[in-house]
Amino acid sequence: MTLRFDIPAVPDLHDAALAACLQHKIDQKTKPLGSLGRLEALALQLGLILGSETPELRAPQMLVCAGDHGLAARGVSAFPSDVTWQMVENFLAGGACVSVLARQHGIALSVVDCGVRHDFAPRENLLNFKVAPGTADALSGPAMTVEQCAQALNNGLRIVQGLPGNALLLGEMGIGNTSAASLLLARLGGLDIADCTGAGTGLDVAAVVRKTEVLREVLLKHPQAQAPLDALAAFGGFEIATLAGAVLQAAAERRVIVVDGFIASAAVLVAARLAPAVLQRCVFAHRSGERGHALLLAQLQAQPLLDLGLRLGEGSGAALAWPLLVSACAVLREMASFESAGVSEKST
Amino acid sequence: MTLRFDIPAVPDLHDAALAACLQHKIDQKTKPLGSLGRLEALALQLGLILGSETPELRAPQMLVCAGDHGLAARGVSAFPSDVTWQMVENFLAGGACVSVLARQHGIALSVVDCGVRHDFAPRENLLNFKVAPGTADALSGPAMTVEQCAQALNNGLRIVQGLPGNALLLGEMGIGNTSAASLLLARLGGLDIADCTGAGTGLDVAAVVRKTEVLREVLLKHPQAQAPLDALAAFGGFEIATLAGAVLQAAAERRVIVVDGFIASAAVLVAARLAPAVLQRCVFAHRSGERGHALLLAQLQAQPLLDLGLRLGEGSGAALAWPLLVSACAVLREMASFESAGVSEKST
């Protein structure tokens, strides 16, 4: 049975003329050449994504995709699965970290029930795209059927089609989802699962060893799941598949994609294996403290903006990095040039 | 002749009860223990500085202190001295990087003429605390007389006394001032000047070698300038001395001090040698791309928030890091606890 999912077209953003224009504009700003470091590369990237010498970020959307994992019953997480739905309530009530940060920065927050094992009362900002109440146990069979995987991916496309603005921030919640991310990294990156597996929400050393052994067994259970979507279906979860779809659609629409930590990066890994040019649209917010994220970033050849030892997920790192993107655009739009400000240039 | 400057009293902030309260509060937030990484340490520090379990940053003030350097005539900078006053005009007109970023974050910006070689027309947001039109050439004699040095330090105290709010961001402008900062670091840190000297606004390798040789001669010229204020007077500049005074006063008033890059850190080095407890109030915004800054941060045992290869100065790095401080306070004030949100705690 083949997975029915049409990958959106994600064209290459290469535009040598615009890139040269942007670089010249950055170099003419009243500052020593290159002195804004990484912020200059970010300004160039944002200009290219938004196709403008004066890029402006509008109506940023934080999408917190939530789902449960059958594998959680195998003791791979320090927290019980009920925390997934409890945190969804916390996001909606405004008390979670990502809620606080989204409020600070004027980022609209939508929570997506991609497959939480709980019945939610309808609420503003809660999008119901539940595929099933949690994935199946990946140690017994595939986490998702191919139909479920296609449904979650297509949900991601549809969700983004309905969102305003030109920037998407990726967030997630799902007890057990570092396991799914580690499995995807190990399989798609061809890496040893031990190098990809970390403490998640706070396992001790012995528990990480047990988690690693469970994940090693899961990989052995699915030797045929080598292609990106086969691996995604085998390992889950619904929130990662929905995010992967959202990334593809956002990229196709030329939105700026702000990638959070380990789980969000795993969704990007899947999307990038299907359409490599999505990476041109991705700004990597931070290097997570979760073991495996550095390797995952290396797979994506990504340079994250922040390195603060965050390992919370939810989109919290993406929200923390957000003002840097706003700054990069503001520098392009508002800073004076040597000429306009009447400032002398470097003596040579 | 002794320098007449009364160091403000900067008491130790140690408060074990408040620290324990803050840590407990942070640990009870709905997130895995420690999962906000450096942001948690920042929240704790801000709570201790502001003496509150619910710290709130009010009316942040960016102080851009400007001054010229006699040593600039020795070819230690890639830009001519006129750029100092031209950039002051750019700050005031709103076109400089720090102007753009301060506007983005609602940070009030004051530019201080500490000793620029130019006569400015009076302007709103331009504070006239000019000691002299530029320091003397440190290769011929001391950059400042002891009276001038005391005057600049006292200016720093007075400026901060007149500012509202509870947070001070340190910015500066002065062609030649990486030389002064390198000299202060080498002398007060007991380091080789070659390790402390970098490209500044953009010298090439050969020019950095020449700059290093000039600075080595300056150090030899002032063997007696070993104490912090003696070194400050010998090497300058007016903006660094004014900033050092501002840091001491802000620390005495228990304001949060946001330290920008190499020059601002050199001012903090002088202040910390006079009153070590100022460091408890300092948040180091970023590790600059300027050679010497990593060593200077090590002298101060400082862990900066950002590492983006910035080397612009002006306070631009402090402004870029500012939203992280706002986030740390918001997390303390607004995030729910496991109990208040009804979220299950870690299984043990």
Kindly report, residue by residue over A9-19, the tens digit of the pLDDT. Answer: 999 999 999 99
> Under the phi-then-psi rule, with left for phi > 0, alpha for psi from -120 to 50, and beta for the rest, what region is A198?
beta
User: Where do the structural domains in chain B lie, given as residue ranges?
Assistant: 16-56+330-341, 61-323
Asked whether the beta carbons of residue A105 and residue B201 sit closer than 8 angstroms, the reply is no
- Tell me the mean pLDDT in the region A57-80: 97
Out of B30, B80, B305, the one facing A90 most closely (by C-beta) is: B30
Provide φ and ψ at A119, rounded to 5°. -100, 115
Long-range contacts of B328-331 (CB under 8 A, 24+ apart): B328/B39, B328/B40, B328/B42, B328/B43, B328/B46, B329/B43, B329/B46, B329/B55, B329/B56, B329/B57, B330/A100, B330/A101, B330/A103, B330/A104, B331/A97, B331/A100, B331/B26, B331/B29, B331/B36, B331/B39, B331/B43
Residue B111 forms beta bridges with which residues?
B64, B126
According to the model, what pLDDT value does residue A346 have? Answer: 83
Torsion of CA A95, A98, A99, A104, to 10 degrees: 120
Supply A129's token pair: 């795209």
Spatial distance between the Cα atoms of A127 and A340, rounded to a whole number of angstroms: 48
Kindly report, residue by residue over A148-164, the tens digit of the pLDDT. Answer: 999 999 999 999 999 99
Catalytic residue among A124, A239, A314, A345: A314
**Contact list, B340 vs chain A (CB under 8 Å):** 95
Q: B12: exposed, middle or buried (C-beta count within 10 Å: 0-12, 13-18, 19+)?
A: exposed
In chain A, the residue whose alpha carbon lies closest to the alpha carbon of B345 is A79
In a mutational test of the B interface, the residue from A77, A343, A348 whose CB has the highest number of chain B CBs within 10 Å is: A343
Spatial distance between the Cα atoms of B145 and A33, rounded to a whole number of angstroms: 35
pLDDT at residue A2 is higher than 70: no
Relative to beta strand B167-173, strand B282-284 is unpaired
Out of B104, B340, B346, the one facing A78 most closely (by C-beta) is: B346
In chain A, the residue whose alpha carbon lies closest to the alpha carbon of B324 is A320
In chain A, the residue whose alpha carbon lies closest to the alpha carbon of B80 is A347
Asked whether the beta carbons of residue B104 and residue A35 sit closer than 8 angstroms, the reply is no
Spatial distance between the Cα atoms of B53 and B337, rounded to a whole number of angstroms: 14
pTM exceeds 0.95, yes or no = yes
In chain B, the residue whose alpha carbon lies closest to the alpha carbon of A323 is B323
The confidence band for A3, taking pLDDT boundaries of 50, 70 and 90, is low
Asked whether the beta carbons of residue B100 and residue A33 sit closer than 8 angstroms, the reply is no
Nearest to A180 by CA among A329, A296, A83: A296
How far A190 CA lies from chain B's nearest CA (Å)? 28
pLDDT at residue A348 is higher than 60: no
Nearest to A174 by CA among A1, A315, A39: A315
Kindly report, residue by residue over A213-256, the tens digit of the pLDDT. Answer: 999 999 999 999 999 999 999 999 999 999 999 999 999 999 99
- Give the helix ranges, DSSP H, for A222-261: 228-235, 238-252
Q: Which fold has domain A61-323?
A: Rossmann fold (3.40.50)
Asked whether the beta carbons of residue B343 and residue A37 sit closer than 8 angstroms, the reply is no
Strand positions, DSSP E, chain B:
61-67, 108-115, 126-128, 167-173, 256-259, 282-284
Asked whether the beta carbons of residue A336 and residue B96 sit closer than 8 angstroms, the reply is yes
The confidence band for A4, taking pLDDT boundaries of 50, 70 and 90, is confident
Q: What is the largest CA-CA distance in chain B?
A: 70
Kindly report, residue by residue over A43-59, the tens digit of the pLDDT. Answer: 999 999 999 999 999 99
Provide φ and ψ at A28, rounded to 5°. -90, -5
pLDDT above 70: percentage of residues in chain A: 99
Asked whether the beta carbons of residue B38 and residue A309 sit closer than 8 angstroms, the reply is yes
Spatial distance between the Cα atoms of B345 and A344, rounded to a whole number of angstroms: 60
Instruction: Give 10-residue mean pLDDT values along chain B (348 residues).
Output: 83 96 98 97 98 98 98 95 98 98 98 98 96 98 97 98 98 98 98 97 96 98 97 97 98 98 98 98 97 98 98 98 98 97 85
CATH number of A16-56+330-341: 1.10.1610.10
Strand positions, DSSP E, A104-255:
108-115, 126-128, 167-173
- Tell me the mean pLDDT in the region A273-281: 98
Provide φ and ψ at B43, rounded to 5°. -60, -45
Q: Which residues of B are catalytic?
A: 314
**Contact list, A324 vs chain B (CB under 8 Å):** 308, 320
Supply A121's token pair: 């009362």
**Contact list, A96 vs chain B (CB under 8 Å):** 30, 335-336, 341
Spatial distance between the Cα atoms of A61 and A59, rounded to a whole number of angstroms: 6
Asked whether the beta carbons of residue B343 and residue A90 sit closer than 8 angstroms, the reply is yes
Asked if this assembly's ipTM is beyond 0.90, the reply is yes
Asked whether the beta carbons of residue A344 and residue B86 sit closer than 8 angstroms, the reply is yes
Spatial distance between the Cα atoms of B135 and B144, rounded to a whole number of angstroms: 6
Kindly report, residue by residue over A131-187, the tens digit of the pLDDT. Answer: 999 999 999 999 999 999 999 999 999 999 999 999 999 999 999 999 999 999 999
**3-class secondary structure for B68-133?**
CCHHHHHCCCCCCCHHHHHHHHHHHHCCCHHHHHHHHHCCEEEEEEEECCCCCCCCCCEEECCCCC
In chain B, the residue whose alpha carbon lies closest to the alpha carbon of A330 is B100
